[in-house]
Chains A and B, each alone.
Chain A
Amino acid sequence: MSLALDKPRSPRRPSARRSNGELYSWLFMRLSGLLLVILVLGHLFIMNILDGGIHRINFGFVAGRWASPFWQFWDLAMLWLAQIHGGNGVRTIINDYARKDATRFWLKMLLYVSMVLIISLGTFVIFTFDPNISN
């Protein structure tokens, strides 16, 4: 690149200024989508097909699974990714289709509140699950 001194009044190259928020959200959708395919299909396979499928699911089955940190992490990852992936998708739909700024704002607030509620409730249950609750 030539020096600005070469031509004092030539326009200076402006530096990057905008945020990359939309880029990261777009990228997140691709990556979380890939992960969710594995997590959700795996979940469906274990729950519905393996070892007699849904007929063996009861309190004890869930308690047994969540005794292992691996399944706790699996379900936690699924919950967070599905919520944020779905929430981000609905956010883009609201951005595309809401006509008034006020509508857009309140729809998004509703979305964010529901996301936070479901993520916190699910996380709370996964970490504080008590297998002896029935006793």
Chain B
Amino acid sequence: MTATAETVSGSRGSQPPVPDGAVTVTVKIRRFNPEIDDEPRWDSFDIPALPSDRVLNLLHHIKWYVDGTLTFRRSCAHGICGSDAMRINGVNRLACKVLLKDLLEKGDKRTTITIEPIKGLPVNKDLLVDMEPFFEAFRAVKPYLVTYGNEPTRERIQSVADRERFDDTTKCILCACCTTSCPVYWTEGSYFGPAAIVNAHRFIFDSRDEGAEERLDILNDIDGVWRCRTTFNCTDACPRGIQVTKAIQEVKRALLFKRV
């Protein structure tokens, strides 16, 4: 891929002045444009950046001032919305939560940061993947309150201890870092994946919810929790620090002893 019809310039014009204390880093991005490329290709950009910058700032710099065709998702840019999950130097991270200073090489060596789309989901363009298979698995575990019988006239009361039981899994922001770090999910897309199990866990262990049995049935399937090989990639990848593998093991235990 060399000469193409696309214009290579930033969407916001020429480069701004380089700030004091900036270092030049190489950002190597795995790119794919379905209208031109048959295969994904690697593009490298040398850009100035401050050690206090986030990786997302580097991507912004490229998109705004170097190559406006670079495509990626981001929304809040503060680690809350979960849009900008990507593979940074081989591990799944949110680009808005990784600081450049943590990636800088020691000494005078030039830093190269490798950025790829998250693995296991179809790539639409550059770093933008089709999240639909991920959300399909999420919806399949009924991630909403399920109750039977009459609705109470007042709110559903819950003790502090009962709330604590599933507190960890309420933190999920559905960024897909965990599911797309799972080697089982890479090769077998029918596996529910860690994120779906985490969100099932959030309701299975909720004392107000009555759908635990249904969800446990769904996760008892060949594509459910028994597919987990406890490689802990998901726990390592989670930008919210959720103990994902532990949550999966808790669902296994609930199935094994038929007790929530």
A residues with a Cβ closer than 8 A to B are 1-4, 6-7, 10-14, 16-18, 20-23, 25-27, 92, 95-97, 99
Contacts and interface: CB of A to CB of B under 8 A. Distances in A.
Contact of B256 (A17, A23, A97): A23
B36 to A, nearest CB: 27
Interface stretch (B50-58, B86-94, B217-225): B217-225
23 contacts: A1-B148, A2-B148, A3-B149, A6-B150, A7-B149, A10-B149, A10-B150, A11-B148, A12-B148, A13-B148, A13-B213, A13-B214, A16-B217, A17-B217, A18-B218, A18-B220, A22-B226, A26-B252, A27-B256, A95-B188, A96-B184, A96-B227, A96-B229
The winner among B214, B218, B220 for most chain A CB atoms within 10 A is B220
Interface string B107-146: 0000000000000000000000000000000000000000
Given A10-B148, A26-B226, A96-B227, 19 more contacts: A1-B148, A2-B148, A2-B149, A3-B149, A4-B149, A6-B149, A10-B150, A11-B148, A13-B210, A16-B213, A16-B217, A18-B218, A22-B221, A23-B226, A25-B226, A95-B188, A95-B227, A96-B187, A97-B187
A8 B229 CA distance: 44
Contacts of A16: 213, 217
B104 interface: no
Interface in B178-222: 184, 187-188, 210, 213-214, 217-218, 220-222
Contacts of B229: 96
Nearest to A15: B213
A16 B150 CA distance: 22
Size category, B interface? 20 to 34
Given A95-B188, A96-B184, A96-B227, A23 B220 contact: yes
Contacts of A17: 217
A92 B229 CA distance: 10
Contacts of B220: 18, 20, 22-23
Contacts of A27: 256
B224 A22 contact: yes
B255 interface: yes
Contacts of A3: 149
A21 B150 CA distance: 35
A13 B210 CA distance: 9
Interface string B20-37: 000000000000000000
Among all A-B residue pairs, the 3 with the closest Cβ atoms = A2-B149, A22-B226, A26-B226
A57 B222 CA distance: 45
A2 B149 CA distance: 6
A97 B189 CA distance: 11
Nearest to B228: A26
Contacts of A25: 226
Contacts of B256: 23, 27
A14 B214 contact: yes
A97 B256 CA distance: 26
A18 B214 CA distance: 10
Contacts of B150: 2, 6-7, 10
B149 to A, nearest CB: 3
A97 to B, nearest CB: 5
A26 to B, nearest CB: 5
Nearest to B216: A16
A4 B210 CA distance: 14
A21 B224 CA distance: 12
